[in-house]
Structure 1
Amino acid sequence: MNVLIVDDEKMMRSGMEKEVKKVLPDANIFLADSGREALSLFKDNSISLVFLDVEMPGMSGLEVAKELKDMKRDVNIVMTTAYPNYAVDAYRLHIGGYLMKPVDAEDIREELDHLSHPIEESHDPGKLTLQCFGEFKAEFGGEPVRFSRTKAREILAYLTAKNGASASKNELCDVLWEDEERDSKKSYIRVLVLELKKSLKELGVEDVLVHNRNEYSIRTELVDCDYYEFLKGNPAAIRAYNGEFMSQYSWGEEYIWDLENKL
């Protein structure tokens, strides 16, 4: 499940994140410090639950809530505030819940039991299989994943090689187009990411891809990957290594030296 926490105060964001993790330990949590950032994250990620501060500079929490509802009518929003006088306005927007700060895990647990739109149990459609040794391949259910653009496949390959670490738009531009002008390609990265998301969503595995603050990564726990098994010391994965790593991409050669040293 993807959860979004929105609060302009860093201490409040961190505290809320800590309490949410106690209740939803497997949740993928996104943090936003403004309404605009919250809307961007919500648009780019499949988010089921939003904890939203009422009073923020710029867009207020209530304004953000209205726009979130316009984008996804059945989104669950829990407002957080130190001021009880906002409750009436929140309920007019059919907000899922309302919490008074400071919030603890028990408060969150109670609100989750009374959401307007019950959160669906996560369905495990199976794992995406990513092969890094030899040529990069992505499969689901034994069938190749279809990509509408080869560069979208390469983004997935590069993020796989990053092993959960994030890559910025600039980094992706440098990898995908090497010596070409970076600024002219930045807008194209967004197009490619949308195409990649579409391919993953068709298979029900869109949560593999994470987009946060103009950076991209994959959730390694949601995929089966020979490279990751190699790094864990899995004997079968070590035997499967053939001296090649994503051989269709020139940047893949940079990983071979490290792999050879681990043998």
Structure 2
Amino acid sequence: MVIAAVDPNKKDLAKLVRYLRMVFHGCEVVMFSDPAFAEQYIKDNPIDVLFTEIPMLGLTGLRLQVKCEAVQPGVLTVFTTATDTYVGEALKSRAHGYIIKPVTREAIRESLNDTKYSSRQQGGI
């Protein structure tokens, strides 16, 4: 499984990546603090899951999800953000999950529990 993690806040990004690697042991996690770099990577490389912040300069997480789905239909998106402000938009976008920060291992695990990427199936904790 390949997970792309996107967050301009480098501390939040580092924590997210650390937890993703704990929960989904052995998965490949690519991380980006700049959503434009994430967009380019996603155009050229297959991913399975996108974990992204929503408010970002230049390219929002909602827009990144649309661009990702255009080139990789079926990629699951989980939004990670500080407020519930974007819940309505996330639901309309058919996001698979919405985690309000601070991100926890349990929230990450639950966000993909009902999918083929469940941590139980990926050998995580």
Percent identity between the aligned chains?
A: 27
In structure 2, give the amino acid aligned to 1:14. A
In structure 1, give the amino acid aligned to 2:16. M
Counterpart residue number, 1:60: 60
Aligned pair count? 120
**Cα distance in 1 between the residues matched to 2:44 and 2:30:** 11
**Cα distance in 2 between the residues matched to 1:71 and 1:82:** 28
SS at match of 1:98: strand
- The answer as to 2:84 corresponding to 1:84 is yes
**Cα distance in 2 between the residues matched to 1:41 and 1:111:** 23
Deviation for aligned residue 1:44: 2.2
Deviation for aligned residue 1:14: 0.3
Task: Give the aligned CA root-mean-square deviation in angstroms.
Answer: 1.7
Counterpart residue number, 1:20: 20
**Cα distance in 2 between the residues matched to 1:100 and 1:13:** 14
The normalised TM-score by structure 2 is 0.89
Counterpart residue number, 1:101: 101
User: Is the 8 Å Cα contact of residues 46 and 72 (structure 2) preserved in structure 1?
Assistant: no
- The answer as to 2:7 corresponding to 1:7 is yes
**Cα distance in 2 between the residues matched to 1:63 and 1:2:** 20
SS at match of 1:66: helix
Counterpart residue number, 1:135: none
Structure whose CA Rg is larger? 1
Structure number with the bigger relative contact order (C-alpha 8 A, sep ≥ 6) is: 2
Deviation for aligned residue 1:42: 1.2
SS at match of 1:74: coil
User: Is the 8 Å Cα contact of residues 78 and 98 (structure 2) preserved in structure 1?
Assistant: yes
SS at match of 1:84: coil
Moved over 6 A (4+): none
- 1:94-144 CA-partner distances (Å, limit 9, x unpaired): 1111100011111111111135xx44978xxxxxxxxxxxxxxxxxxxxxx
Which runs of 5 or more structure 1 residues have no equivalent in the other structure? 123-263
Counterpart residue number, 1:158: none
**Cα distance in 2 between the residues matched to 1:2 and 1:83:** 26
**Cα distance in 1 between the residues matched to 2:27 and 2:44:** 17
- 1:173-201 CA-partner distances (Å, limit 9, x unpaired): xxxxxxxxxxxxxxxxxxxxxxxxxxxxx
Counterpart residue number, 1:75: 75
- 1:35-74 CA-partner distances (Å, limit 9, x unpaired): 2111111122221011010011111111111111111221
| Residues 109 and 119 of structure 1, relative CA distance in 2, 3 Å threshold | closer
